[in-house]
A = this chain, B = another copy of it.
């Protein structure tokens, strides 16, 4: 973490891998990388239904100061997702319709912010998705430097510039950019496997049988009794 720096060149994962990750969705991608990388559940979509994936442009911001968001806009390309982390906890409304207009013009796909967001109705009308910690109209100042495209911690996850961000109604997961291809492949396999499982369960097979759990449970000591007073 360094203040006052903008890094202009960042790595980005292959568009095809990002597309697979977006289609797989947060829950599957997170399982596909050993159940790691999920942001804390306090980060929620400000409007429901969006599903996105893209390359992280990271922004380190002071509390209650959104100056660096304006700096960050210029660093974004089509397909990117802005990831904003304050240097100390803050719920103020760093982001609204005007910044969203700028980002949408550049093809940015979403904003992830561990702070507040406002103009949520306009954002939904524009179709610009935001995941945030709070909805708050509280405005911010432009007085203190932060940084763009440095490593940040956002909602409990370390994010490097260029990491792939996947976000939907289940939350937000971070995939290190160097692992995007591997995780995309693993996600694809997982989707196929889940489809087979879903079909079996929909036919009425029990998970106990489908996953072959009965013996292990018995070995661990699970007992079945008819009535509570037999415990």
A121 touches B207 (CB 8 A): no
Q: Known interface pairs A38-B88, A204-B105. Does A135 touch B44 (Cβ–Cβ under 8 Å)?
A: yes
Task: Give the complex CA separation of A211 and B98 in angstroms.
Answer: 12
Q: Known interface pairs A6-B224, A145-B220. Does A213 touch B67 (Cβ–Cβ under 8 Å)?
A: yes
Sample (24) of A-B pairs whose CB atoms are under 8 Å apart: A2-B36, A3-B34, A7-B225, A7-B226, A7-B227, A26-B118, A27-B137, A35-B138, A35-B139, A38-B137, A49-B121, A62-B141, A67-B213, A71-B222, A73-B208, A89-B90, A105-B202, A105-B203, A135-B171, A141-B143, A141-B144, A142-B213, A143-B144, A161-B228
Chain A residues touching B, range: 35 or more
B35 touches A208 (CB 8 A): no
Query: A70: nearest residue on chain B (CB-CB)?
Result: B207
Q: Known interface pairs A5-B225, A90-B90. Does A170 touch B64 (Cβ–Cβ under 8 Å)?
A: no
Q: Known interface pairs A198-B98, A213-B70, A225-B7. Does A35 touch B206 (Cβ–Cβ under 8 Å)?
A: no
Chain B residues with CB under 8 A of A30:
137-139
Taking a contact as CB atoms closer than 8 A, the residue among B27, B44, B145, B170 that contacts A217 in the complex is B145
Taking a contact as CB atoms closer than 8 A, the residue among B9, B73, B198 that contacts A206 in the complex is B73
A220 touches B36 (CB 8 A): no
CB distance from A216 to the nearest CB of B (A): 9
Q: Known interface pairs A5-B223, A99-B207, A102-B207. Does A137 touch B91 (Cβ–Cβ under 8 Å)?
A: no
B137 touches A228 (CB 8 A): no
The reply to whether the CB of A120 lies closer than 8 angstroms to some CB of chain B is yes
Chain B residues with CB under 8 A of A6:
222-225
Task: Give the complex CA separation of A158 and B118 in angstroms.
Answer: 22
The reply to whether the CB of A23 lies closer than 8 angstroms to some CB of chain B is no
A120 touches B170 (CB 8 A): yes
